[in-house]
Structure 1
Amino acid sequence: MPEGLHLHRHGDGPAVLWLHGYTMDSTTWQPLWDRLPGWTHIGVDLPGHGGSAPLPPGLPLTALAGQLAEVAEETGARRLVGLSFGSMSAIQLAFQKPALVDRLVLAAPTLAGTPNEDSARVRYRQLMMLHRMVGPGEQLADLWMQPPPDIFTGTRRHPELRAALRSVVARHSWAELGNGAMDTLTAHRHTADDLRRITARTLVVLGDEDMPAFVRNAELLRDTVPHCRLETLAETGHLPLLERPATCAPLLAAHLA
């Protein structure tokens, strides 16, 4: 197992690998895992998140995908689920090591090197400034969860989820704000040729209220990945798997089977 990666395990059955969103960790998957019996759910805390070691400066996306490939090989997980930031790593793994991934789920899909929301770049600069002033903690969590960008806007319909996510984000270290470690990961670029190399049967899950950049990504995946379908959920924002676990569980169960 790659040194420094922390895993959460739940359940029994064929293994599914889960990759969470930015500033989150694998504990956020529990409501969905509870609705998906019959699987061994393996949540990876991505570098710099949860119980994993800090994200090292200079780590390219290809190397991170290589680490995740080791996890997939050692656990026997041939099914992969990625949300937002986690979906970027899932995409990379799926075409970098296509023989390892049979089923792929991408929610709020994030493609490396594609235009992001302008508001996200502005907010990231604000977070860097606040981090220099006050360090990690609740102030950064509250700033990050405010719109724009509308990453957490959909959670306002679900107060318990929003409170749980705030607790997770509040304990995020934010070390990447001080050392620029995210820059190398996000400098990578996914191309249409990369996407065509994905052989896994792919399900893209999108909230109908998600931001335009992610709608474009979802449509590009649908039109480019050879075996891909798109499901759009009504009255749902950027975090469909977390906002609508009861709706998503049967979709994922059918796709992963």
Structure 2
Amino acid sequence: MTLAYDVAGDGPAVLLLHSTVVDRRMWDPQVPALTAAGYRAIRCDLNGFGETPLPTGLYSDADDVIALLDDLGVDRFRLVGASGGGKVALEVAARWPSRVSALLLLATAVAGFEPGPELRAYGEREDALLEAGDLDGAADLNAEVWVGPEATDQIRSRVRVMQRHIFDVQVGVDEEPEQIRHQFDLNAIAARTLLVTGAHDLPDFTAIADRLAATLPDAERLDLSWAGHLPSMERPDLLNPVMLEFLAG
């Protein structure tokens, strides 16, 4: 599978992996900041998101991301992942530790985490809407749950549009593809890591970040008092300086 992507700027590579509520357009506010700081910003749509169609049969987002970087001639890179994109970023950093020089995770998910009551309740509400064929209602729900109080109505609308497109791509397919579950050890991650969470997000993501901070060899924690689940969209003016300072090391 060839992932849809775009590249901007020159210099050290920064790979941006989007949340699975949205697509690579979530990084629109970060790309100009990265290029102005002298980085080469690479962002892609994971399988079944944005302009990348849902694959048929077995697939691996992590394998496809590495294949994309190989095609671009990128060996060493900094890695930024949000939510579900953070889960992919963790796999990439664990399986190819020598290639990742820095790992910034925003409200990251992680494989094998047992969801708490609030996250389960959200999932049940979304499932009910999708089963009823109310894709617009499900998109509205996601924009309500995953966007923090500092975001404008315009940002909330952008999240709703991207999530609605995801449903168009993924819902009702004849045969759902299956992710390849590679075995990897998070302790293999060598990159210095910053785990960022938002005080207005669901508590699961704080618990995940706290657990990872205690597991990863070189990790720091940062909780943003103003943020929800998508701080890079909600307040890029506040998130971008955090990102650039960390990436600069």
Q: TM-score range by the shorter chain?
A: 0.7 to 0.9
Aligned twin of 1:48? 48
Identity fraction in percent: 30
How many angstroms does 1:168 deviate by?
1.8
Q: CA 1:159–1:189 in structure 2 vs 1: closer, same or farther (change >3 Å)? A: farther
How many angstroms does 1:110 deviate by?
0.7
CA contact (8 A) 2:150 2:234 kept: no
**1:254 counterpart = 2:245:** yes
Q: 54, 64, 68: which one pairs with 1:67? A: 64
How many angstroms does 1:222 deviate by?
1.3
Aligned twin of 1:166? 160
The superposition leaves residues 103-136 of structure 1 with CA deviations (integer Å, 9 ceiling, x where unpaired) of 1111101111111243444444444454454375
The superposition leaves residues 124-161 of structure 1 with CA deviations (integer Å, 9 ceiling, x where unpaired) of 4444454454375x333113333xxx322x05642221
* Whole-angstrom distance in 1 between the partners of 2:154 and 2:129: 27
Is 37-46 or 244-253 further displaced after alignment? 244-253
Is 42-51 or 217-226 further displaced after alignment? 217-226
Aligned length: 243
TM-score by length of 2: 0.86
> Unaligned stretches of 5+ in structure 2?
none
Is 33-42 or 156-165 further displaced after alignment? 156-165
**1:78 counterpart = 2:77:** yes
CA contact (8 A) 1:32 1:246 kept: no
Letter in 2 for 1:225: L
Q: 170, 190, 213: which one pairs with 1:199? A: 190
CA contact (8 A) 1:18 1:41 kept: yes
Is 162-171 or 81-90 further displaced after alignment? 162-171
CA contact (8 A) 2:2 2:64 kept: no
Letter in 2 for 1:65: A
Q: 209, 232, 239: which one pairs with 1:241? A: 232
CA contact (8 A) 1:222 1:228 kept: yes
How many angstroms does 1:216 deviate by?
1.0
CA contact (8 A) 1:196 1:225 kept: yes
Q: CA 1:151–1:121 in structure 2 vs 1: closer, same or farther (change >3 Å)? A: same
* Whole-angstrom distance in 2 between the partners of 1:16 and 1:98: 15
Aligned twin of 1:116? 115
Letter in 2 for 1:194: D
**1:209 counterpart = 2:204:** no
How many angstroms does 1:55 deviate by?
4.2
* Whole-angstrom distance in 2 between the partners of 1:128 and 1:175: 16
How many angstroms does 1:174 deviate by?
4.6
* Whole-angstrom distance in 1 between the partners of 2:199 and 2:191: 25
**1:228 counterpart = 2:226:** no
Letter in 2 for 1:104: L
How many angstroms does 1:30 deviate by?
0.8
* Whole-angstrom distance in 2 between the partners of 1:161 and 1:145: 9
Q: How does 1:73-152 map to 2 (within 5 A)?
A: 73-75=70-72, 76=74, 78-134=77-133, 136=135, 138-146=136-144, 150-152=145-147
* Whole-angstrom distance in 1 between the partners of 2:115 and 2:198: 17
* Whole-angstrom distance in 2 between the partners of 1:122 and 1:26: 27
Aligned to 1:68, what secondary structure does the other structure show?
A: helix
Aligned to 1:242, what secondary structure does the other structure show?
A: helix
Letter in 1 for 2:165: R
